[in-house]
Structure 1
């Protein structure tokens, strides 16, 4: 029986067992913690139906005010390094930063972390302007069926994303895509996803479950069923044993993580990091990894790591301390 047939017949646990075996054989037991670093909170396109930024476009008169201070970005990168996390990618809406600005930010983060960064900056034809400061390029596909994609993300065409990623490959960069589960896609759309991965020789796929935001078309849509989400991840792992899979969840769905790890996830993402680190929410993440019989790279609870670093940029210290204070302020948090 094919993978879609197994999903439809609710043979999810068979898929999980097979995917888990493949993951351990091909990738080992390590699990990474991933942190997307956002450069801004505004997008000039602003018409992806699920996206928080679509609710901000008409609220912000001066888009420059949506830019983050670069020192805050660099402080976040420094702390990510101290915690042993990976930077999932640098991300920001369309129409905020120039290519040269993003290149300078990437170069500085490379200096801070000793690791080149992934970019998720939208569709661009200027990838040749970058160098060793980036390792790969992420295309925000979100849903792989072309017709459904045009309904959900009318201004981000799949052909344009494909052309960008093909260029990235020609330039020697790794290629990734993001996919959101729970937008109303059909099971059969997984074939479109597999075709896309195969055609572009994708190295990394980042799955998110729908996080319904106020003032968007999905504000009353519940998040997808955990086992449905896991079945898509497991099917991808089985079909593509060597691909890197990152899975995202939110604080109200932390119990998804164990099953996603069993489904073949290599890393976990989508956390409000400084609200969770060191308190019971961060420790719950570590427990999920433990009970999935996997080994965590980095920490979500060791407060001593926050102040252990060789910061080569003293001007960042106030910004670093601000994030550290936020972690301590949330140690006794009752709800997020």
Structure 2
């Protein structure tokens, strides 16, 4: 390692330490486990260069078959309530569900959990259709560089995303954006991200690291370095002490969790909940949170929280509840 790299890494660690102190001064000492609930595996746009759905669009002859059954979606929400996981947002590709259908799902989830939901269901001009079943609207900005965004996500114009977020504010909804690190951006691009957060009054930033999918242009790329990820998150935390930050990492990068929490994360996401629950991987998530000096909201290991094999909400959910519990109970450390 050369001297410049040593200096840079030392500065990053100082920045992380500063971000940690700011987080502790402005937020509860708890880290939430977050779960995105997907509505469909089809996207009518299907051209975001990094996305798994871009590899599926031409393979799915009948998009309706890529839609999840609503009782399955609701059962997943009920399991999140039992395990005290937050629902990060409802997510679905373009033209997978109508606005009225998404609203109905959100209303039913609120009945189950007692909380409204965030939406990440694409650019829409029908925000007036939603009420208090929705907490906030998420814009898929994806990359902290407008030129790269236009190239990587050609069918999701930044201007349209920005207009949707501004309208969300006018209607009283909170605003969030998603950012994927490792798409070709650099640390210098974070200044653009900071300006975007300020200009559009963003309440929540959700960071993910690149997950290189086969058949995409990123198939042979690596995930971003943990200290790079930490440098970005800590810069956002220092600049915006009150903002909510959620960080996603993958099962093969669980060691990122500790430093991301110290960098300013309030919650962690991107885990296959029922496959990891009660396993050494779920235990590792909890250990990372513990060793960062935080308490955990929710559980990845307490099987008593799975509850009974019947829904507390609707008997139509029973078979899915049983399936989720069975999958979780078969896991071993």
Band of TM-score, shorter chain: over 0.9
Q: CA deviation at 1:328?
A: 1.7
- Report the equivalent of 1:99: 99
Q: C-alpha separation between the residues in 1 aligned to 2:6 and 2:184?
A: 16
Preserved contact between residue 34 and residue 85 of structure 1 (Cα < 8 Å): yes
- Report the equivalent of 1:215: 215
Q: C-alpha separation between the residues in 2 aligned to 1:45 and 1:217?
A: 17
Preserved contact between residue 38 and residue 92 of structure 1 (Cα < 8 Å): yes
Preserved contact between residue 144 and residue 185 of structure 2 (Cα < 8 Å): no
| Gaps in structure 2 of 5+ consecutive residues | none
- Report the equivalent of 1:9: 8
- Deviation readout 1:24-44 (Å, 9 max, x if unpaired): 000031100000000000101
- Report the equivalent of 1:283: 283
Q: Are positions 1:258 and 2:272 aligned together?
A: no
Q: CA deviation at 1:310?
A: 6.7
Q: CA deviation at 1:7?
A: 11
SS at match of 1:9: helix
TM-score of the pair, normalised by structure 2? 0.96
- Report the equivalent of 2:204: 204
Preserved contact between residue 50 and residue 212 of structure 1 (Cα < 8 Å): yes
Q: C-alpha separation between the residues in 2 aligned to 1:168 and 1:180?
A: 22
Q: C-alpha separation between the residues in 1 aligned to 2:187 and 2:150?
A: 18
Q: CA deviation at 1:142?
A: 0.3
SS at match of 1:175: strand
Q: C-alpha separation between the residues in 1 aligned to 2:40 and 2:5?
A: 41
Alignment of 1:70-81 (within 5 A): 70-81=70-81
Preserved contact between residue 311 and residue 318 of structure 2 (Cα < 8 Å): no
- Deviation readout 1:297-324 (Å, 9 max, x if unpaired): 1111100000158712122111101011
Q: CA deviation at 1:250?
A: 0.6
When structure 1 is superposed on structure 2, of 320-329 and 47-56 the one drifting more is 320-329
TM-score of the pair, normalised by structure 1? 0.95
Q: Are positions 1:322 and 2:326 aligned together?
A: no
Q: C-alpha separation between the residues in 1 aligned to 2:20 and 2:57?
A: 42
SS at match of 1:89: strand
- Report the equivalent of 2:271: 271
Preserved contact between residue 107 and residue 133 of structure 1 (Cα < 8 Å): yes
Q: C-alpha separation between the residues in 2 aligned to 1:77 and 1:126?
A: 24
What RMSD over aligned residues (CA atoms) do the two structures have, in Å?
Answer: 1.5
